[in-house]
Structure 1
Amino acid sequence: MTLSATGLSAVRSGRTILHPTSVKISPRDRIGVVGASGSGKSTLGHALIDDLRSQGKSVAHVPQSPDDALDPLRSMAFHWREAENALDLAPGAADRGMLFEALRISGADLRKRPWGWSRGMQQRFVIAMALIGAPDLIVLDEPTSALDPVVAAATMDLLDRHLHGRDTAMMLITHDLGLAARRVSTLVVMDEGRIIEQGPTEAVLERPRTPAAKSLASHQNWMALPC
């Protein structure tokens, strides 16, 4: 089922930070949203999540840092139960074993608080929680910015393998062109709260049309990054 949202917009302190925007996402789509800082990437993501959820769609969100999703005073088991409760699932209804195996956190001690796990394991745990219930769409907002490049690449590899063959679509919001180039098939470029260019990832990066896209693509050092 195609996900569709129209007229997404946002105003902050009297200033329009997201101009009216429409988005369509098909099952299994892999979409990257890139742009300079302040271009409206995350604002678009949040507006899309709110709109689709209001339509009754299942949309999961992975924030930039696990600190934004995990209470340092609560155990990892508590967080998992809360994620199940949010979806009205009975305790243990989610296939935790399958998700933990897919994201390589099997055997981790759920009695520990987040600070008892490595940062990479924390973020993989947050991704596992987001995948409970096989959402229609998972929105990842700078999901690897708090991780070192090697751990970030490994985390995205695990997510890619888990999503392969499943209908869940993915939107990756990032300033990291290396990450986008390797992980998405469609690239959306934002500037000043507008989508100014979109198309197949390779075409946008190799033959950008707009000044903002050309500026992003001109930084060729992203090709050497491991993500």
Structure 2
Amino acid sequence: MPQVISVNVGSPQPTSQGKRIPTGIGKHPVEHVDVRDPGPKHGGEGSGAVGDFIGDRRHHGGSTQALYAFAREELDAWEARLGRDLPSGTFGENLTTVGYDVDASRIGDRWRIGPEVVVVVTGPRIPCSTFAARMGERGWVKTFAAHGRSGAYLAVETPGRITTGDEVAVVSRADHDITVPVALGAFMGDLDAADEVLAAGVLVPDEHAALERTVRRRRNVRR
């Protein structure tokens, strides 16, 4: 049965990069968490998980990145590849799942988690320098992106409480073929994937416009 095997929140911690803004990427398990729509990136509550700290609200958090889900099976595969233990929450995920292929999700898929919470898949996790610093692996951003299985950001459609052990059930599937890995490729420079994502119109307006600008810039550089 697909379920959440770990619910994780972060506390403020200094970054190893010496940035003035602390980070909440290092998450620790809790028994349960209340989730809600945190509002916009700028001026909102940050994380959709109450009590979860987000330092860089310019790039993280907000309604379309309210929660982050990652599969325990993927963490296990990375453990084998890197030769180190990766406890649930290591990648900064709020929800560590088991028994469900998170990365097979399409943008717009809706999940029910537990008896009341409904979330919507909004996009991939884009690896950043804070993630790379936390992992301490040479070339981590490129390595993680090339693997193509980033886990998924979620918006909170119906608020409520998520408890460790809650079942994850798909409520509805989006009527297009843009999966999380396709969207990740688009944001990481795959122009064919970007064209596919833009044509499908699955992103929120700000992200759609940002991807359009990136595509134009990359194509102008190629000329």
Same fold judged by TM-score > 0.5? no
> Higher helix share goes to which structure?
1
TM-score when normalising by structure 2: 0.30
TM-score, normalising length from structure 1? 0.30
**Bigger RCO (CA 8 Å, 6+ sep):** 1
